[in-house]
C-alpha cells in the first residue's frame, strides 16, 4: 500500500458511502481461476506491502477484474493477487512481508471503488483480500525434508559479504539432491541451496548465520507459519517443485552418515589422553573456542589448546580444532564409529567426524 492523498481518501470514503446507500451485504464473486484464501493486515502504507511483484492503484475505478487483468498483463505470471482499501492491487509469487491473518470477515464489507456492487473483494482498511491462482501449471516449490543421510535443518540467513558456508561448488542444474551429492563428494558435512541455483558447502555455519524457520509455509497452505521462513521460497533451477533457498537465504542440510577412512585414533598426546568421541552441533558447540592450527593433527590441536591454557581439546570434521575447559551440553559421548574422518594434516590419524569430536584431556 502507498500513502494516501487527500483526493484518494475522499474517493475511498465516497465509495464507502455509496456502498452503504445501496445496503449491500453479499460478497463479490471470486474471479474465475482464482480462490480467495486470506484477509491479511497490510501495513504497506507504513512500510512494505505483502506482495511486491507489481503494484497498481486506481482511486475511482478499481475492480477485482481490473486487478486480475493487471496481474495477468505482467511479463512474469503471478500466483498471488491482493486487493486492499478498495483501490489498490498488488501481485506476487510469494508473501514478501507477512502480517496478521484477520479472517475473511474483515475483508467482507468494503466495496471496490470502481464497482460498489463488488463488496468484500477489494479488502478493507489496512487489510488485503488475498487470492491464489488455481492453475496446475503453477508449481509451488516444496521443502525437501531430507535426502538420504542428509537432513534438512530449515532456512538460514546468508550474506554476499560474509558467507554462512565456506565453499561454493558446481552442482550442475541445481537441485537439493545434486547439491548434497556435490558436498558429500568433497567430504563436507553441511550443504546449502540458495537463490534457486547456488550450492554451498561447509563444515560449520559462519558469520553469525541464524535459523529462520523449518518450512517455506506455502506448501501446506498454512500461511501462519514462521513469517521469515516464507522467504526460503525459490524453486530450484533443476527442479522447480523443490525449494532452493531465497535471496541471501539458504535451505540448509546436515550429513548424518559416516565417511570411510583408513585412520586410527591417537591414544595420547603429551599426557593428554583420548577420551572418545563426543557429539557436537553447529548451533550449540560442545567446546567453546575454535582455533586455527594450520595443518590439523591430533598433536597440533592438543598443543594449540594447551598453549592457550585450555584443558580440553577436540578434533572435528577432519580439519577443525576446538578448545575448552568443559564439555558443554548437549555434548555427550557417542559411538566411536561417528569419529570417522582422517586428519587433513596426517591421514593416518582420526580427527573426529561430522558433528563429532575426538576429545582429549
Q: What is the chain's pLDDT, residue by residue, as a tens digit (361 residues)?
A: 444 444 444 444 444 444 444 434 445 678 888 888 888 877 655 556 778 778 899 999 999 999 999 998 887 678 889 998 889 999 887 666 555 677 888 888 888 999 888 888 888 888 888 888 886 455 667 889 899 888 888 888 898 888 999 889 988 889 999 999 988 877 788 899 998 889 999 877 888 888 765 443 333 333 333 333 356 777 788 888 888 987 788 999 988 766 555 778 999 999 999 999 999 988 889 999 999 887 789 999 999 999 999 999 999 988 889 999 999 999 999 988 888 887 878 878 899 988 899 999 9
To 5 degrees, how large is the angle CA 178–CA 184–CA 185?
90
List of residues 6+ apart from 17 with CB closer than 8 A: none
Q: What is the pLDDT of residue 138?
A: 57
Taking a C-beta distance cutoff of 8 angstroms, is the pair 340, 239 a contact?
Answer: no
Alpha-carbon span 346 to 296, nearest angstrom: 8
To 5 degrees, how large is the angle CA 320–CA 270–CA 359?
40
Q: What is the pLDDT of residue 304?
A: 96
Handedness of CA 282, 284, 287, 291 (dihedral sign): positive
The residue assigned the cell 548451533 is 283
Alpha-carbon span 181 to 132, nearest angstrom: 35
| pTM flag (> 0.75) | no
| Host H or E run for residue 291 | strand 289-291
Instruction: Look at residue 56 and give its three-state secondary structure.
Output: strand
| Host H or E run for residue 321 | strand 320-324
Handedness of CA 270, 319, 329, 287 (dihedral sign): positive
Q: What is the pLDDT of residue 271?
A: 93
Q: What is the pLDDT of residue 30?
A: 80
Q: What is the pLDDT of residue 12?
A: 45
List of residues 6+ apart from 337 with CB closer than 8 A: 258, 277
Here the cell at position 170 is: 558446481
Which alpha helices (DSSP H) does the chain contain, by range?
Answer: 6-21, 64-73, 176-185, 298-307
Q: What is the pLDDT of residue 340?
A: 83
Q: What is the pLDDT of residue 246?
A: 79
* 173 φ, ψ (degrees, to nearest 5): -80, 105
Instruction: Look at residue 38 and give its three-state secondary structure.
Output: strand
With DSSP H G I counted as helix, E B as strand and the rest as coil, what are the percentages for the chain, rounded to 5?
15, 30, 55
Q: How many CA atoms lie within 13 A of 24 on its CB side?
A: 22
Q: What is the pLDDT of residue 148?
A: 87
Q: What is the pLDDT of residue 117?
A: 84
Instruction: Look at residue 203 and give its three-state secondary structure.
Output: coil
Amino acid at each position: 500500500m502507498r500513502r494516501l492523498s487527500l483526493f484518494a481518501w475522499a474517493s475511498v470514503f465516497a465509495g464507502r458511502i455509496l456502498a452503504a446507500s445501496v445496503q449491500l451485504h453479499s460478497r463479490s464473486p471470486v474471479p474465475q481461476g482464482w480462490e480467495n484464501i486470506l484477509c491479511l493486515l497490510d501495513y504497506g502504507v507504513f512500510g512494505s506491502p505483502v506482495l511486491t511483484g507489481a503494484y497498481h492503484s486506481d482511486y475511482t475505478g478499481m475492480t477485482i477484474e481490473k486487478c486480475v487483468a493487471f496481474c495477468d498483463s505482467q511479463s512474469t505470471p503471478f500466483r498471488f493477487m491482493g486487493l486492499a482499501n478498495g483501490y489498490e492491487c498488488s501481485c506476487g509469487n510469494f508473501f514478501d512481508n507477512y502480517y496478521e491473518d484477520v479472517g475473511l470477515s474483515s475483508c467482507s464489507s468494503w466495496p471496490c471503488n470502481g464497482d460498489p456492487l463488488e463488496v468484500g473483494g477489494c479488502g478493507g482498511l489496512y487489510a488485503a483480500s488475498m487470492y491464489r491462482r488455481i492453475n496446475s501449471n503453477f508449481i509451488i516449490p516444496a521443502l525437501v525434508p531430507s535426502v538420504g543421510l542428509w537432513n534438512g535443518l530449515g532456512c538460514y540467513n546468508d550474506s554476499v559479504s560474509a558467507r554462512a558456508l565456506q565453499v561454493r561448488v558446481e552442482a550442475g542444474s541445481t537441485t537439493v539432491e545434486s547439491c548434497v551429492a556435490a558436498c558429500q563428494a568433497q567430504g563436507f558435512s553441511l550443504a546449502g541451496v540458495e537463490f534457486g541455483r547456488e550450492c554451498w558447502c561447509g563444515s560449520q555455519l559462519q558469520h553469525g548465520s541464524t535459523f529462520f524457520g523449518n518450512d517455506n509455509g506455502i506448501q501446506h497452505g498454512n500461511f501462519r507459519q514462521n513469517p521469515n521462513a516464507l522467504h526460503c521460497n525459490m524453486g530450484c533451477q533443476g527442479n522447480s517443485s523443490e525449494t532452493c533457498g531465497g535471496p541471501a537465504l539458504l535451505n540448509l542440510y546436515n550429513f548424518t552418515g559416516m565417511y570411510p577412512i583408513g585412520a586410527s585414533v591417537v591414544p595420547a598426546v603429551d599426557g593428554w589422553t583420548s577420551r572418545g568421541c563426543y557429539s557436537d552441533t553447529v548451533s550449540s558447540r560442545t567446546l567453546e573456542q575454535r582455533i586455527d592450527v594450520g595443518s590439523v593433527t591430533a598433536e597440533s590441536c592438543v598443543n594449540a589448546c594447551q598453549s592457550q591454557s585450555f584443558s580440553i581439546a577436540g578434533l572435528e570434521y577432519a580439519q577443525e580444532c576446538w578448545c575448552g575447559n568443559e564439555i558443554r551440553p548437549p555434548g555427550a559421548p557417542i559411538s566411536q564409529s561417528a569419529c570417522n574422518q582422517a586428519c587433513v594434516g596426517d591421514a593416518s590419524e582420526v580427527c573426529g567426524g561430522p558433528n563429532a569430536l575426538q576429545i582429549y584431556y
